[in-house]
C-alpha cells in the first residue's frame, strides 16, 4: 500500500494538546488500524507535500487558521488538493480541511453569517447522504461534535450535499467518487469537546453564546466517531 497521510493544518490549544493530544493523535486513534502506514505532513512547519502518485489516502485536519487567510501554506495546499481529487485518491477534509477542499475545487468558504456553531449538535443525512459510501452507514439523524466560525458558503459545482442541520446547510459533501468534506469533527471525544469550552468560555460569552446549556448537552458521539474507521476501509478497498 502507498502512503496514507494526515495533513496537519494546525494544532489545538496548547493546554488541550498537553493533556489530550493534538488533531493528528485523535485521528490516528479513531482510525484504529495498526497495519496502516500513516505519515503526518506538517504544512505549518514547512513539510513538503508529497507527490500524489505516492498516496493511497489523504486526511486534512482542522485548524485555528481560517480558509480566508492569505498565508502561503494555505495557497500551496489549495493548489495541491485538485491533483488528489482528480486521481480519485480517497481524501477526507475535516472542518478547516472540509472548507479548504470546497474552496480549492471551485466553491466558496467564508465566515458563517450567523456566527459560530459549537457543541454536540444534531445532523441529518440528505437523501444522497443516505446512499453515500462513507456517510451512508450512519443513522439518518446522528449527533457529532462541532466548532467552527467559517463555513462552506457555496459548494463546488459538481459537489453532492450529504448532511445538514438548521444552522449548517453543508455539514458534509462529496466530490466525485472519493473526496469528502465534513464540517463536524469525527475525531473529537466528549472530553475534547468539553476542553474546547473550558478554553474558550470567556470569548464564547462575549459572543452571546449560552455556554452552560451547550456544555450540559455534550455527550458521546459513537456513530460519528466511526467515520474515520469507515474512511480507512474505503482507502484499503481502493488499493
What's the CA dihedral at 219, 20, 11, 94 to 10 degrees?
Answer: -40
Phi then psi for residue 104, to 5 deg, are -65, -25
d(CA 219, CA 225): 12
Q: What are the catalytic residues?
A: 95, 185, 187
Question: Left if phi > 0, otherwise alpha if psi is -120 to 50, otherwise beta: which for 207?
Answer: alpha
Neighbours of 198 (CB within 10 A): 13
The closest of 142, 151, 143 to 117, measured between CA atoms, is 151
Q: Coil, strand, or helix at residue 79?
A: helix
CB 29, CB 64: distance < 8 Å: no
Cα–chain-centroid distance for residue 226? 14
d(CA 142, CA 140): 7
Pairing of strands 141-148, 160-164: unpaired
d(CA 229, CA 33): 8
Amino acid at each position: 500500500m502507498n502512503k496514507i497521510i494526515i495533513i496537519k493544518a494546525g494544532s489545538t490549544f496548547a493546554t488541550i494538546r498537553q493533556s489530550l493530544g493534538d488533531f493528528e493523535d485523535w485521528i490516528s486513534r479513531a482510525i484504529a488500524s495498526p497495519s496502516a502506514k500513516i505519515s503526518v505532513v506538517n504544512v505549518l512547519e514547512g513539510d513538503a507535500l508529497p507527490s500524489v502518485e505516492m498516496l493511497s489516502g489523504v486526511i486534512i485536519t482542522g485548524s485555528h487558521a481560517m480558509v480566508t487567510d492569505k498565508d502561503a501554506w494555505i495557497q500551496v495546499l489549495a493548489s495541491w488538493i485538485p491533483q488528489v481529487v482528480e486521481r480519485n485518491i480517497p481524501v477526507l477534509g475535516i472542518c478547516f480541511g472540509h472548507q479548504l477542499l470546497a474552496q480549492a475545487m471551485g466553491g466558496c468558504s467564508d465566515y458563517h453569517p450567523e456566527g459560530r456553531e459549537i457543541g454536540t449538535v444534531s445532523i441529518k443525512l440528505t437523501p444522497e447522504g443516505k446512499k453515500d459510501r462513507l456517510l451512508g452507514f450512519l443513522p439518518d439523524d446522528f449527533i457529532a461534535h462541532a466548532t467552527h466560525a467559517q463555513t462552506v458558503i457555496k459548494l463546488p459545482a459538481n459537489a453532492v450535499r450529504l448532511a445538514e442541520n438548521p444552522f449548517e446547510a453543508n455539514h458534509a459533501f462529496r466530490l466525485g467518487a472519493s473526496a469528502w468534506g465534513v464540517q463536524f469533527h469525527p475525531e473529537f471525544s466528549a472530553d475534547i469537546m468539553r476542553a474546547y469550552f473550558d478554553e474558550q468560555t470567556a470569548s464564547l460569552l462575549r459572543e452571546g453564546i449560552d455556554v452552560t446549556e451547550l456544555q450540559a448537552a455534550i455527550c458521546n458521539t459513537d456513530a460519528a466517531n466511526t467515520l474515520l474507521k469507515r474512511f480507512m476501509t474505503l482507502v484499503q478497498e481502493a488499493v
